Amino acid sequence: MKQGYPIARAGQRIGLLGGSFDPAHDGHVLITREALRRFGLDRIWWVVSPGNPLKAHGPAPLAQRMAQARRLLGGDPRVEVTDIEARLGTRFTADTLRSLRALYPGVKFVWLMGADNLVQFDKWEQWREIMETVPVGVLARPGWRTEGRYARAARIYRAAEMPFWASQRLAEGPTPRWCFVNIPMSRLSSTEIRQSGGWVRD
């Protein structure tokens, strides 16, 4: 594997949590720990985005966000903070996933997101390709549980939804498949932290 790219073995179940992490907070840590357990994952990579294609304002510098995310995680060996999108030169998730599949044959990737992202998922570039090629794990977020469950993408792919009690098998088997899990929730958000002055950009 090229330098700077995370290591993974064929057969490993790896969750990908994409985000701006501007800054990372305990809500991210909570959903990461829950996703590991609920979706039966071996590892989770935090895919720190160079910039969300749907957001008009750019985030803090990538290096600053990566360093803060690593400090927050405190060296949990199951979680890796990666700048893989900057390395791959991808911005859209569908492109990132296509590149990762080619780079890591045999690795079982799962795309993870909070319920708020499921609501706007049908606006993402080639979102159907994402659904058709990668299992998707959705984690409850305060204020978004109901909207998430009835989002357009959720309705279109209702037949591919796995029951919560089978969530541990999300990474195995044919796609499309997705699963929504109710978890203990955190109200934290990066927007609120930024607005309260809790994150000063370099």
Ligand X SMILES: O=C(O)c1ccc[n+]([C@@H]2O[C@H](COP(=O)([O-])O)[C@@H](O)[C@H]2O)c1
Burial class (CB in 10 A: 0-12, 13-18, 19+), 23: buried
Q: Does 19 bind ligand X (CB under 6 A)?
A: yes
Span from 1-9, 50-58, 148-156, 171-179 in contact with ligand X (CB under 6 A): 50-58
Listed residue (116, 115, 131, 113) closest to 177, CA to CA: 131
C-alpha to C-alpha distance for 118 and 153, rounded to whole angstroms = 7
Q: Which does 186 bind (CB under 5 to 8 A by kind): ligand ATP, ligand X, none?
A: ligand ATP
Cβ-based neighbours of 40, under 8 Å, separated by 6 or more: 13, 167, 168, 169, 170, 171
How far is it, in rounded angstroms, from Cα 132 to Cα 56?
Answer: 28
Per rule CB under 6 A, is residue 55 in the interface with ligand X? yes
- The interface mask with ligand X, positions 122-161, x = CB under 6 A, is --xx------------------------------------
Q: Which stretch binds ligand ATP (CB under 6 A): 79-87, 100-108, 114-122, 127-135?
A: 114-122
What sign for the dihedral angle of Cα 28, 73, 195, 56? negative
Report 34-93 residues binding ligand ATP (CB under 6 A): none
Binding mask 12-31 for ligand ATP (x = CB under 6 A): -----x-xxxx----xx--x
- Cα 82 from Cα 48, distance rounded (Å): 6
- In what side-by-side order are the strands of the sheet with 79-82? 79-82, 43-48, 13-19, 108-114, 136-139, 178-181, 161-162
Smallest distance, ligand ATP to C-beta of residue 7, A = 23
Task: Give the CB-nearest residue to ligand ATP.
Answer: 114
Residue 149, Cβ neighbours under 10 Å: how many?
Answer: 18
Q: Looking at 68-76, 159-167, 172-180, 188-196, which segment touches ligand ATP (CB under 6 A)?
A: 188-196
Nearer to ligand X, 119 or 171 (CB): 119
Provide the binding-site residues for ligand ATP, judged by CB under 6 A: 17, 19-22, 27-28, 31, 113-114, 116-117, 139, 141, 186, 188-191
